């Protein structure tokens, strides 16, 4: 008797070569990329958590929406986050989420989540370069710029 199992495939399709991808070297550049790609219809309504995926030259491989939440928060499943990071063979990541309230101050939960992700990333030699809080008016808070990473 032959046991049948499900086949698992892991793939990542790069449509824009690294040489043509923008380089992200500051929180300002990361915030611009994020805001240019954020759903403006929902940024003031509900929290969303995203990750920018970078290669070793800090060139943008892509952006991925990890979770979509409610008015005051969103849950981030680290297994989903790291499945995407590992699948894309990214070596650096920039975390981001929005505060619909317009408050740029990171909450204790924001700080704890950032540290949890940073520790997990360290196991895979992946650098968490920043965590940005984006607000509807276009402003942002950078964990890295504020010395919180």
Residue 148 counted as domain residue = no
- pLDDT score, position 131: 98
Task: Name the residue range of residue 77's domain.
Answer: 24-142
- pLDDT score, position 21: 84
- pLDDT score, position 10: 60
Our count of domains for the chain comes to 1
- pLDDT score, position 16: 65
In whole angstroms, give the CA distance from residue 142 to residue 145.
Answer: 5
In whole angstroms, give the CA distance from residue 99 to residue 104.
Answer: 7
- pLDDT score, position 65: 94
Beta-carbon count within 10 A of 84 CB: 17
Q: Which residue has the tokens 């309230």?
A: 101
- pLDDT score, position 97: 97
The low-confidence residues of the chain, meaning pLDDT below 70, are 1, 8-19
- pLDDT score, position 13: 67
40 burial level (CB within 10 Å; 0-12, 13-18, 19+): exposed
Residue 122 counted as domain residue = yes
- pLDDT score, position 18: 65
Query: Which H or E element spans position 36?
Result: helix 27-36
Q: Which of 46, 87, 91 is nearest to 64 (CA)?
A: 87
């Amino acid at each position: 008797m032959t046991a049948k199992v499900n086949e698992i495939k892991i793939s990542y399709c790069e449509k824009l070569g690294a040489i043509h991808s923008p380089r992200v070297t500051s929180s300002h550049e990361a915030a611009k990329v994020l805001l240019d790609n954020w759903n403006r219809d929902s940024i003031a309504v509900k929290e969303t958590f995203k990750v920018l995926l970078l290669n070793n030259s800090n060139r943008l491989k892509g952006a991925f929406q990890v979770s979509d939440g409610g008015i005051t928060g969103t849950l981030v499943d680290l297994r989903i986050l790291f499945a995407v990071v590992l699948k894309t063979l990214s070596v650096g990541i920039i975390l981001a989420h929005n505060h619909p309230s317009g408050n740029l101050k990171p909450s204790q939960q924001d700080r704890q989540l950032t540290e949890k992700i940073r520790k997990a990333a360290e196991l895979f030699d992946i650098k968490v370069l920043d965590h940005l809080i984006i607000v509807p008016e276009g402003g942002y808070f950078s964990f890295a710029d504020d010395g919180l990473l």
